[in-house]
Amino acid sequence: MGHPDPTVLRNSTYTAGVDSQVNKRAVLREVTTRSAEETIAFGRTLTELLTPPKLVLLRGDLGAGKTTLVKGIASAFEAASEEDVTSPTFTLIHEYRGPRANLFHIDLYRIDTPRQLETLALDDLRTENSVLLIEWGEKFPRLVRERDVEIALEREGESGRRIRLIR
């Protein structure tokens, strides 16, 4: 990170933050998808990398494709069909049980304080068998510290999405 990259400066603060952190870590997989279907297909390839137990942060702006990616992950784990995976924006946690993993899809968009986070008792969900897929978890330093994998999604135009798995 020598001098500032002008393309990063033109982008949102969010993107600049992601980029500065990504540079210090290992990118395990990187892909650019061109449709929701391609993002789902990419999600389907991740079962090996996401063998439980895992805490996964899904990072990206609203509409970046975080929930869409979970459709692929959950269907590949045979835990839910793509259509059954919907955003846990209001319910906060959706659980999908599969033969090889219990998936917990969590949306912290509406959770603002560490105290509110505590009421969700996420630690109780962390078993040998569980994969926690957390949207907006980067708001909480504790989750950033404890995460095993981060998946960062960035828009590239209307239907392009750059997806990076970062350890």
Query: Are 146 and 132 within 8 A, CB to CB?
Result: no
Give the CB-nearest residue to Mg ion: 67
Q: Where are the alpha helices (DSSP H) in 11-154?
A: 13-22, 36-44, 66-76, 114-119, 122-125, 141-146
Q: What is the C-alpha separation between 68 and 83, in angstroms, rounded?
A: 10
Query: Any contact of residue 161 with Mg ion (CB under 5 A)?
Result: no
The residue to which tokens 């404890």 are assigned: 146
- Residue number with CB closer to Mg ion (67 or 130): 67
Exactly one of 21, 54, 87, 97 binds Mg ion (CB under 5 A); that residue is 87
Classify 113 as helix, strand or coil.
coil
Asked if 39 touches ligand ADP (CB under 6 A), the answer is: yes
* Nearest residue to 116 (alpha-carbon basis) of 142, 95, 97: 142
Q: Which does 68 bind (CB under 5 to 8 A by kind): Mg ion, ligand ADP, none?
A: ligand ADP
Among 18, 56, 66, 150, binds Mg ion (CB under 5 A): 66
Counting contacts by CB under 5 A, is residue 21 touching Mg ion? Answer: no
Contact range with ligand ADP by CB under 6 A, out of 66-74, 91-99, 113-121, 136-144:
66-74
Q: Which residues of the chain form contacts with Mg ion (CB under 5 A)? A: 66-67, 87
